[in-house]
Amino acid sequence: MTPCRTLRSIAAFALLALLAGTPAHALDNGLARTPPMGWNSWNAFHCNVSAKLVEATADAMVASGMKAAGYTYVNIDDCWLLKQRGPHGELVPDPAKFPQGIKAVADYVHSKGLKLGIYESAGATTCAGYPGSLGHEKQDARQFASWGVDYLKYDNCGDRDGETYEQRYTAMRDALLATGRPIVYSLCEWGRKSPWRWAPSVGNLWRTTQDITPRWHTDQPDNQYPQGILDILDQQAALSHASHPGAWNDPDMLEVGNGYLSDNENRAHFSLWALLNAPLIAGNDLRHMSDAVRSILTNREVIAVDQDWGGRQGYRVHRNGNADVWAKPMSDGSVAVILLNRGRGPLHIATTAAAIGLKHAASYTVRNLWQHRSHMSRGVIAADVPTHAVAMFRVWPGKHTVL
Ligand code: GLA
């Protein structure tokens, strides 16, 4: 082959490789550049959803200071619709729960400067037995867009043989894109088919596990219901590489303020989810929350870890019995770190600036993100951590003033 022909073949090959390596329709909706923040009805209310609840929750999101802290999406989960589609194949909101339909609720939520989310399933039915979107993707997506929906959680019930997971979830991605409305696309296939491998080009976030329950630890094997906070946490340790701005691992919605979780457990859950770049979707009753729960959900120093523009997910540095150390590199060169006491009884837990990946410095500023106080350290980061709790810090090389 002449050098010229060789060059031409190389160029043609490179072009083909480029085309082959580019997914035909990668998700490019420009949304969720940081993990989405909001609320969802399921964890606290299950099927008891209504326009009244959603609107009162939007009010509470504003009044509690959550909106000011960054929460935006008010998301309706399962059971908002009737068991039968309408005469034209359309989804029909349950008139007993949503007497003015979904558009009126979206208008109300938008009037508060917030956004509305809705729920459907990638199978023949939703998990509570309502009509699913399989085979109706285009029509349903158009309906959501016409109502002013801004976020879709897309579940995995009512599965049938025939289509692969990727095909079912991709069909709705394309249907949403075709509406022209910016709609965050949240995949909920429970980590069944390793979505961290294929979902980054399909959705903005993808569930990695079975459903969360408000318990510290359930001892269930991986991916069986129900999963406690530590069960889910342990399944995230290997997934840090998969997320990036616009595409997030979703270890499920928050249980902060639900069940019998203690304040320390709530703080630990919130801290860990922030370090994992998880979507911060509150799952409690925002209309009636304690001051302790409200102040956990609105801790801006912890939220800033989750919302760091660099979007690098935290990872486990070390585990020693019941003591875990987790770290997350921040885009300003600091590192967020969590010392987690998984067990019963207090523990002294320590790590070092070097172990969490900080560059060498004569001293470090160590900021306690729950006590909102800083101290200087030569490099040791340590705390006495009570049972089922965390200490969470952000560490900068040298002197750093936290404004
Ligand atoms: C599944 C999902 C939950 C919730 C319910 C609704 O279990 O994983 O988050 O949406 O369905 O039926």
**Is the CB of 77 within 6 Å of ligand 1?**
yes
Q: How high is the pLDDT of residue 282? A: 99
Q: How high is the pLDDT of residue 159? A: 84
**Is the CB of 163 within 6 Å of ligand 1?**
no
**Is the CB of 188 within 6 Å of ligand 1?**
yes
Q: How high is the pLDDT of residue 119? A: 99
Instruction: Confirm whether 155 is a catalytic residue.
Output: yes
To test the ligand 1 pocket, which listed residue (211, 225, 232, 254) has its Cβ within 8 A of the most ligand atoms? 211
Q: Which atom of ligand 1 is nearest to the CA of 211?
A: 8
Q: Which two tokens stand for residue 159?
A: 């599965």
Query: Residue 68: left (phi > 0), alpha (psi -120 to 50), or beta?
Result: alpha
**Is the CB of 187 within 6 Å of ligand 1?**
no
* CA 45 – CA 74 distance, rounded (Å): 14
Give the residue-averaged pLDDT of 235-256: 97
Amino acid, single-letter form, for residue 227: Q
pLDDT at 78 over 50: yes
Residue whose pair of structure tokens reads 């480029």 in the numeric block? 18
Measured in Å, residue 155 CA sits from the centre of ligand 1 at 7
Confidence of residue 156 (pLDDT cuts 50, 70, 90): very high
Which of 83-97, 118-132, 216-230, 308-322 has the weakest average pLDDT? 216-230
Which of 103-117, 142-156, 158-172 has the weakest average pLDDT? 158-172
The percent of residues in the chain predicted with pLDDT above 70, rounded, is: 94
Backbone angles phi, psi at 89, to 5 degrees: 80, 5
Q: Which atom of ligand 1 is nearest to the CA of 119?
A: 10
**For every residue of the chain, which 3-state class applies, written as one string?**
CCHHHHHHHHHHHHHHHHHHHCCCCCCCCCCCCCCCEEEECHHHHCCCCCHHHHHHHHHHHHHCCHHHHCCCEEECCCCCECCCCCCCCCCCECCCCCCCHHHHHHHHHHHCCCEEEEEEECCCECCCCCECCCCCHHHHHHHHHHHCCCEEEEECCCCCCCCCHHHHHHHHHHHHHHHCCCCEEEECCCCCCCHHHHHHHCCCEEECCCCECCCCCCCCCCCCCCECHHHHHHHHCCCHHHCECCEEEECCCCCCCCCCCCHHHHHHHHHHHHHCCCCEEECCCHHHCCHHHHHHHCCHHHHHHHCCCCCCCCEEEEEECCEEEEEEECCCCCEEEEEEECCCCCEEEEEECCCCCCCCCCCEEEEECCCCEEEEECCEEEEEECCCEEEEEEEEEECCCCC
Measured in Å, residue 98 CA sits from the centre of ligand 1 at 20
Q: Cα–chain-centroid distance for residue 295? A: 20
pLDDT at 3 over 50: no
Measured CA to CA in angstroms, residue 294 lies from 69, 182, 272, 281, 285 at distances of 11, 30, 17, 14, 11
Q: How high is the pLDDT of residue 402? A: 82
Q: pLDDT per residue over 185-205, tens digit each?
A: 999 999 999 999 999 999 999
Confidence of residue 26 (pLDDT cuts 50, 70, 90): low
Backbone angles phi, psi at 347, to 5 degrees: -140, 145
Which of 12-26, 215-229, 309-323, 372-386 has the weakest average pLDDT? 12-26
Mean pLDDT of the chain, nearest integer = 94
Ligand 1: which residue has its CA nearest to atom 9? 211
Ligand 1: which residue has its CA nearest to atom 3? 211
Instruction: Confirm whether 211 is a catalytic residue.
Output: yes
Measured in Å, residue 143 CA sits from the centre of ligand 1 at 21
Measured in Å, residue 295 CA sits from the centre of ligand 1 at 27
Residue 267 near residue 388 (C-beta atoms within 8 A): no
Give the residue-averaged pLDDT of 21-41: 82
302 against 7, higher pLDDT: 302
Q: Model's pTM, two decimal places?
A: 0.94
Ligand 1: which residue has its CA nearest to atom 12? 127
Q: How high is the pLDDT of residue 272? A: 99
Measured in Å, residue 123 CA sits from the centre of ligand 1 at 13
Q: How high is the pLDDT of residue 6? A: 45
Q: Which atom of ligand 1 is nearest to the CA of 190?
A: 8
Q: Which atom of ligand 1 is nearest to the CA of 253?
A: 9
Q: pLDDT per residue over 33-73, tens digit each?
A: 999 999 999 999 999 999 999 999 999 999 999 999 999 99
Ligand 1: which residue has its CA nearest to atom 8? 211
Give the residue-averaged pLDDT of 169-188: 98
Q: How high is the pLDDT of residue 25? A: 54
Query: Residue 339: left (phi > 0), alpha (psi -120 to 50), or beta?
Result: beta
208 against 15, higher pLDDT: 208
Catalytic residue among 140, 150, 155, 250: 155
**Is the CB of 42 within 6 Å of ligand 1?**
yes
pLDDT at 2 over 60: no
**Is the CB of 255 within 6 Å of ligand 1?**
no
**Is the CB of 78 within 6 Å of ligand 1?**
yes
Structural domains in the chain, CATH included, are 24-306 (3.20.20.70), 314-397 (2.60.40.1180)
Confidence of residue 393 (pLDDT cuts 50, 70, 90): very high
To test the ligand 1 pocket, which listed residue (46, 76, 78, 232) has its Cβ within 8 A of the most ligand atoms? 78
Q: How high is the pLDDT of residue 384? A: 98
Q: How high is the pLDDT of residue 17? A: 39
Ligand 1: which residue has its CA nearest to atom 5? 127
**Is the CB of 212 within 6 Å of ligand 1?**
no
